[in-house]
Amino acid sequence: MKDYPIQKIKNIAVLGHGNSGKTTLADAVLCYGKATERIGKTSEGTAALDFDPEEKKRGCSVQTSVFALEYNDTKINIIDAPGLFDFAGGVSEALGAADSVIIALSGKSGVTVGAKQAFQKAKDLNKGVGFFVGKLDSSHAHFYRVISSLVANYGSVVCPVIVPYIEDEVVKCYVNLIENKAYSFEGFAATELRMPVSTEIDQMRDMLLEAVASADDSLMEKYFAGEAFTKEEIIGGLKSGIISGDICPVYCGVQQLGHGVSIFADGLAEIFPSADEIKIKYNDNKEEYANESGENALYIFKTIADPFVGKLSYFKVVSGSITSDTKLKNNRTGNEERITKIMWLKGGKQEDAAKIGAGDIGSVSKLGDVLTGDTLSVSGNVSVMPPKFPKPTLNMAIYPANKGDEEKINSGLNRLIEEDPTISLYSDKETKEQILSTLGEQHLDVIVSRLKTKFGIDVVLKEPKIAYRETIRKTVKAQGRHKKQSGGHGQFGDVWIEFEPCDSQELVFEEKVFGGAVPKNFFPAVEKGLRDCMDKGVLAGYPMVGIKATLYDGSYHPVDSSEMAFKTAASIAFKEGVSTANPVLMEPIGTLKVIVPDDVLGDVIGDINKRRGRIIGMNPAQNKTQEVLGEVPIAEMADFSTAMRSLTGGSSEFSLEFARYEDVPSNIAEKIIAKTKE
């Protein structure tokens, strides 16, 4: 593969809802461009861009992949990101490298939640956006219904470029509105036909011309003067409109059969912006174009952790050029990294490269402490702003299936976390469990599978334990008396202690002993005995909080009394007193914030209520959504992520943060206590 100037490089991410046909679309373009021999099928594990074993096994994309295609003297880096919400981190990776975005839509499903989210994320990062409405051979597929939905959602930016002519719900041919010519397709091969007479197609042509005219003042004058645009003027207007965000071109076809793919591929090469035409955002709030003559610098947008090959880092050159033996500093760590062998990316394969220039994409292996989102440059002062990665929402406790594998689990998961920033692993100090946080059940399943296949580790997943607490609700006085005679010196300790509720998380200990009933040198032993008892409550064995203990009386023996005897006496007093002080079980309560579409607001509120939650407020949010504020027991939230995915089709977002502890309702407390005694 030759080295291309920045003006001839296109970095295009293909995004879309799961099962929208985006990977097949990318595969079709690769096949048409003669980079592959056939159009692969994701369901059969033959797609060039779904090369990971997990993707082949599941028949869907689970990670971002890149394929460098040489087409019409242009290099197109096609970046295929997963469509399933559980692997949404791949969308962030793709957007970190792409200059523009194609959103694949199914002619049957239309503008789905995943498509809307992809569009919004691309627009937030000022990326050019286009659409491909595919699967038009499916039953109930209808292009014009989909384009009406696009217009309803996004207005005048929607600009049809290729549209179908339909008779009796069957696509008879496709019309390239730029040329105003009709074509039938046999595979990739196009045959020009006589232009059909169609009011719908005339309307689509008018939409195209109006959009092009609005992108350029001189074209607007020509449009109002009734003069026809040349093909070059239309292409130029479309390109300007994509860069400015005023035009989102719409293509269509049947990607698995190759229909419409040739026109689409030409559009990618001719109309979509080059790497020097979309600005890169930096962390110091500046935005600059990729620069061939600038300081050598690259941005890491994806990492693959392989136990055999080592770490493979995907990068985009943001300025200058990168060659083997280049030395760069990591902005995050300050460490110098030596770039060894650089490679082009071709799906699951790499091709050696002598140089990778500004705006282009490549890979390098075996970098040191380098993570996704890092920027490496000569000075170490360059810092590209990475896209936001979604936060994990599904928590599970992870245990080794085999004893002694704890360190292997941590090592394997840390390698996978390098690869996937949406995975989180932390140790819960309260429950002593390792908590694995992911984006969903399928994400979790892939992680467990990769631990097995990549690192040979079997694990067991369980719902995380809840860090309950116990406390008391009334004041009592109790005696603790320990007396034991077993020959020689005996053991004797006698205390009277008052227990009362307080606000402290730790035991509050005081002494009000008069007349030396308990010598001062035994006070620390009494306190130690009480503190030890706080670790395990009298109801279900959970830690106790909110207790003040006042030692106010007792007795001792000049020979038999000892620190151990008074420590034991204190523990007897604790168990006796706390058991009669109206002990209660307390549960953690979280503050919940949910962004939810208006049309499913009632369903979401109903679900929160079923979880013993309380709605404390609602605020209007963007794009016909509401922010719901509530408080809910954390014990009820284990499957909330899955429930929201089901109720809202993946269109909700939520956060849950610990707020405080509250008493568990008595009927539920009884079940929890009974379970701990089984």
Contact 517, 502 (CB under 8 A): no
DSSP-based three-state secondary structure for 575 = helix
* 117 vs 34: CA distance, rounded Å: 32
Q: Distance (Å, rounded) from C-alpha 456 to C-alpha 437? A: 21
Q: Judge if 222 and 357 occupy the same domain.
A: no
Any idea what the CATH number is for the domain that residue 625 is in? 3.30.70.240
Same domain assignment for residues 348 and 364 = yes
In-domain check, residue 491: yes
Q: What CA dihedral angle connects 416, 417, 422 and 426, to 10 degrees?
A: 120
Alpha-carbon span 475 to 583, nearest angstrom? 11
Distance (Å, rounded) from C-alpha 70 to C-alpha 221?
37
What does the pLDDT read at residue 244? 94
CATH of the domain at 314: 2.40.30.10
Q: What's the confidence (pLDDT) of residue 496?
A: 97
Cβ within 8 Å of residue 490, ≥6 positions away: 483, 484, 557, 559, 560
What CATH code is carried by the domain that includes residue 81?
3.40.50.300
Q: Are residues 78 and 218 in the same domain?
A: yes
Domain interval for residue 502: 470-581
Among 423, 450, 419, which residue's Cα sits nearest to residue 312?
Answer: 419
The DSSP call for residue 255 is: T
Radius of gyration (C-alpha) of the chain in whole angstroms: 33
Tell me the mean pLDDT per 10 residues along the chain, length 678.
93 95 96 95 92 92 96 97 95 97 95 94 95 93 95 95 93 96 96 94 95 88 89 94 96 97 96 95 91 95 82 96 93 94 94 95 93 96 94 94 89 92 93 94 95 93 95 97 79 96 94 90 96 95 96 91 94 96 97 94 95 94 89 95 92 93 95 87
Examine residue 197 and state whether it is found in any structural domain, yes or no: yes
Q: Which of 459, 464, 460 is nearest to 394 (CA)?
A: 464
228 burial type by CB count under 10 A (0-12 exposed, 13-18 middle, 19+ buried):
exposed
Q: Are residues 247 and 333 in the same domain?
A: no
- Does residue 432 sit within a domain? yes
Tokens coding 262: 């040739």
Q: Is the pTM of this model over 0.85?
A: yes
Q: Is the torsion defined by CA of 394, 397, 401, 402 positive or negative?
A: positive
Q: Say whether 169 sits in a helix, a strand or coil.
A: coil
Domain boundary among 525, 547, 581: 581
Is 307 in the same domain as 265?
Answer: no
Cβ atoms < 10 Å from Cβ of 291: 17
**Domain at 479, CATH number:** 3.30.230.10
Confidence at residue 488, expressed as pLDDT on a 0 to 100 scale: 64
Q: Distance from CA of residue 629 to its chain's centroid?
A: 22
Q: Which of 509, 450, 457, 390 is nearest to 87 (CA)?
A: 390
Crossing angle (nearest 10°) for helices 217-224 and 231-244: 130
Rounded to a whole number of angstroms, the distance between the first and last alpha carbons of the chain is 67
Contact (Cβ atoms closer than 8 angstroms) between residue 437 and residue 638: no
Spatial CA neighbour of 107 closest among 52, 60, 51, 149: 149
Residue with tokens 């002990």: 583
Q: What is the token pair recorded at 290?
A: 């990729």
Instruction: Give the separation between CA 203 and CA 195, rounded to whole angstroms.
Output: 14
b/e 487-523 (16+ beta carbons within 10 angstroms → b): eeeebbbbbbbbbbbbeeeebebebebeeeebeeebb
Question: What integer pLDDT is reported at residue 38 of this predicted model?
Answer: 94
Nearest 5°: the CA angle 585, 588, 591 is: 150
Helix/strand/coil for 649: coil
- Predicted pLDDT at 235: 95
Alpha helices in 300-360 (DSSP H): none
pLDDT at 678: 72
Residue 284 is predicted with a pLDDT of 84
Q: In whole angstroms, what separates CA 157 from the centre of its chain?
A: 28
Return d(Cα 376, Cα 301) in angstroms, integer.
12
Q: What is the pLDDT of residue 538?
A: 94
- Residue 412 CA to residue 417 CA, distance in Å, equals 9
Q: Are residues 86 and 168 in the same domain?
A: yes
**How many H-runs (helices) and E-runs (strands) does the chain carry?**
16, 36
Kindly state whether residues 498 and 607 are assigned to the same domain: no
Clarify whether residues 32 and 52 are in a common domain.
Answer: yes
Residues 316 and 441 occupy one common structural domain: no
- 144 and 10, same domain (yes or no): yes
Q: Which residue has the tokens 């269109």?
A: 651
Residue 285 belongs to a domain:
yes
173 and 76, same structural domain?
A: yes
CA–CA separation, 588 and 534 (whole Å):
18
Among 445, 462, 479, the domain boundary falls at 462
Q: Which strands sit side by side in the sheet containing 547-555, from one edge to the other? A: 476-484, 491-501, 547-555, 508-511
Domain identity same for 254 and 300: no
Whether 386 is covered by a domain: the verdict is: no
Residue 384 lies in a domain: no
Residues sharing a CB contact under 8 Å with residue 207, sequence separation 6 or more, in sequence order = 158, 159, 160
* Residue where a domain terminates, one of 217, 250, 278: 278
Question: Residue 385: inside a domain, yes or no?
Answer: no
Which pLDDT value is given to residue 306?
Answer: 73
Say if strands 181-186 and 170-176 run parallel, antiparallel, or are unpaired.
Answer: antiparallel
Q: What is the CATH number of the domain that holds 437?
A: 3.30.70.870
Q: How many domains does the chain have?
A: 5
Long-range contacts of residues 669-677, Cβ cutoff 8 Å, at least 24 apart: 669/539, 669/584, 669/585, 672/468, 672/540, 672/585, 673/539, 673/540, 673/585, 676/540, 676/541, 677/540
- Strands (E) in 402-454, as ranges, are 424-428, 433-438
Break the chain down into helix, strand, coil percent, rounded to 5. Answer: 30, 35, 35
Is 354 part of a structural domain of the chain? yes
- Say if residue 486 is exposed, middle or buried (CB neighbours under 10 Å; 0-12, 13-18, 19+): exposed
